[in-house]
């Protein structure tokens, strides 16, 4: 890949623990609460949009989104559009899902949309490969790991905090790269 420093990425990846990681207890994780309403700019994980559309986002998320600068990643756009691609066009519910996703995407201002660069993509692939090996991920989990790693490292490079409900996945990323910033939340029932 032109413009990508393989040696720097391999030096950066020396944090490989060489063993399977265990999910830590909630008390050790950065869950959002009222004390985290204000702070660094956010980069939203795809689950935030989905939880908003399905009415499962906690009220705290909405208050945080109103308080902090909110940014969007082309990774989330890609995941949302993939969802539309797998929908059955003949299913009666498809039109309403397309409308909801379209509304989410239309609400993302262009000046707050960021695409990962070659450095982020290369390092994310390396990090995702390590996770897949360490955690024994099956084929279907590998793409999800790559997308999570890309979003995580993109936020890190831009100085943003990832807002996500994907507790287990982002706990592992924080164990491997503690310098990353994440705020976790639980979905409403």
In a domain, 19, yes or no: no
Report the distance separating Cα 117 and Cα 104, nearest Å. 24
What's the mean pLDDT in 52-77? Answer: 96
Q: Return all residues near 31 (Cβ < 8 A) that are at least 6 apart.
A: 183, 184, 185, 186
Report the distance separating Cα 122 and Cα 128, nearest Å. 10
In a domain, 2, yes or no: no
Number of folded domains that form the chain: 1
Residue 148 maps to which CATH number? 3.40.50.1010
In a domain, 9, yes or no: no
Binned at pLDDT 50, 70 and 90, residue 2 comes out as low
What's the mean pLDDT in 53-72? Answer: 95
In a domain, 7, yes or no: no
What's the mean pLDDT in 21-31? Answer: 95
Tokens at residue 174, please? 């924080």
DSSP strand pairing (42-44 vs 161-164): parallel
Domain that holds residue 60: 26-184
Residue 45 has pLDDT above 70, yes or no: yes
pLDDT at 30: 97
pLDDT > 70: percent of the chain: 99
pLDDT, tens digit, for every residue of 113-168?
Answer: 999 999 999 999 999 999 999 999 988 899 999 999 999 999 999 999 999 999 99
Residue 1 has pLDDT above 50, yes or no: no
In a domain, 58, yes or no: yes
pLDDT > 90: percent of the chain: 85
pLDDT at 10: 79
In a domain, 189, yes or no: no
In a domain, 113, yes or no: yes
């Amino acid at each position: 890949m032109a413009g990508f420093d393989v040696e720097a990425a391999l030096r950066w990846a020396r944090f490989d623990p060489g063993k399977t990681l265990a999910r830590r207890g909630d008390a050790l994780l950065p869950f959002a609460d009222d004390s985290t309403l204000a702070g660094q700019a956010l980069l939203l994980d795809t689950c935030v949009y989905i939880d908003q559309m399905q009415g499962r986002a906690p009220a705290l998320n909405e208050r945080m989104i109103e308080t902090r600068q909110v940014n969007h990643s082309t990774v989330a756009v890609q995941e949302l559009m993939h969802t539309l691609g797998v929908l059955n066009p003949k299913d009666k519910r498809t039109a309403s899902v397309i409308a909801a996703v379209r509304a989410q995407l239309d609400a993302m201002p262009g000046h707050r949309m960021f695409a990962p660069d070659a450095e982020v993509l290369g390092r994310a692939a390396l990090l995702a490969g390590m996770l897949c090996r360490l955690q024994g991920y099956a084929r279907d989990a590998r793409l999800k790991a790559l997308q999570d790693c890309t979003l995580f490292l993109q936020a890190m490079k831009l100085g943003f905090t990832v807002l996500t409900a994907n507790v287990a996945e982002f706990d592992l990323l924080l164990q491997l790269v503690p310098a990353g910033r994440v705020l976790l939340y639980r979905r409403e029932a």
